[in-house]
Amino acid sequence: MIIIMSNEINHFIQTLDSEDGVHKNTIISYKYDINQFGNFIKRRKKSFKSIIKKDIIDFLNSLKQKKVKNKTKSRKIFALKRFYKFLISEKIIKNNPIEKIDIPKSEDTLSIILSVNQIEKILKHVSTKNNNYIDLRSNLIIELLYSTGIRVSELISIKTNNIDLIKKTILIDPPEKGKSRKERVVFFGDQTKKVIEKYLEYRKIYFKKKDSPWLFPSNNTNEFLTRRRVLQIMHNLADILKIDKKLMHPHSFRHAFGNHLLNSGADIRVVQKLLGHSSIITTQKYTEHREKLIETIENFHPLNKNNEKIV
């Protein structure tokens, strides 16, 4: 795709970048979607200022012909709606051509959830491959995603000094905070603790010439591992274990964490807190809920109920 990056887009992106709570990935998506539309209208010899509602409908129809899903189309419409709202606010245009364009309904899809047996199969495999740093990293990535229910963005940005092995907690402190990226604490059990301890030993040797604050440092930069690399690790495991790649996604482990706890009899309100769906981590509330959260992980999480099968 040709990158247009007109003055209007540049100004819009700079404004978004300065706003509090707008995540970098959202900005990247907006830029891509608006540029895609910009290329479409450029072929019609039109500009962002001269288009009409029919141009947008034709753009959406072109996406339909390419079998683009409604979820993706909705994202592009959201991006364009925000962009044109910005153009109106800056008095660059007077009329909003996308104002009355409806958001398409998402296709009905079933949540993709890994079963307990599949999780055990994955963990059994990664736990036997633990004699080098790369394999131990894969082991710990799977362990943390499933044992804590954290998001992949939270996983890759864990700092080693935010892990408390005695209390079995991790402070999640994302570099870029936004709507779903808030500081919170997650909990893990004894099995995960053992994997963390062994991984840290190998990490110290592997990165002996590199001082990095991140639990999962990148080999090529001073930053942490990318989400794309985590997905590649999972897809490699999917090939080895003959598991559908659609199931081997970081968010599948988060879904599995919540569902498996609930199916084991955990209190739904506690699971909600463990998933970080509500803000519970202030100093007082942390002390107040800690024992209940730890108890839920230890008593109801399949990883801790089946230690003898997985270790």
Give the β-pairing of 184-187 and 169-172: antiparallel
Question: What is the DSSP code (8-state) at residue 209?
Answer: T
Please tell me which residue in 45, 54, 66, 179 is annotated as part of the active site: 179
* Residue 186, strand partner residues: 170
As to burial, measured by CB atoms within 10 angstroms (0-12 exposed, 13-18 middle, 19+ buried), residue 265 is: exposed
Which of 255, 286, 290, 305 is catalytic? The answer is: 286
* Catalytic site includes residue 44: no
DSSP string, 107-173: PP-------HHHHHHHHHHHHH--SSHHHHHHHHHHHHHHHH---HHHHHT-BGGGEETTTTEEEE-
- CA separation for the pair 128, 207 (Å, rounded): 23
Overall size of the chain counted in residues: 311
**227 given a catalytic annotation:** no
Amino acid type, 226: T
How many Cβ atoms from other residues are within 10 Å of residue 279's Cβ?
A: 11
Tell me the torsion sign for CA atoms 165, 168, 173, 174. positive
DSSP state of 102: P
Chain mean position to CA 227: 8
Which one of the listed residues 73, 151, 203, 301 is annotated catalytic?
Answer: 151
Among 124, 167, 210, 251, the active-site one is 251
* Set 203, 254, 273, 301: catalytic member: 254
Q: Could you tell me which residues come within 8 angstroms of residue 231 by beta carbon, excluding any fewer than 6 positions away?
A: 249, 250
**Annotated active-site residue in 24, 277, 285, 309:** 277
Q: How far does CA 287 lie from the centroid of its chain?
A: 27
Quick check: is 254 catalytic? yes
Q: Annotated catalytic sites, by residue? A: 151, 179, 251, 254, 277, 286
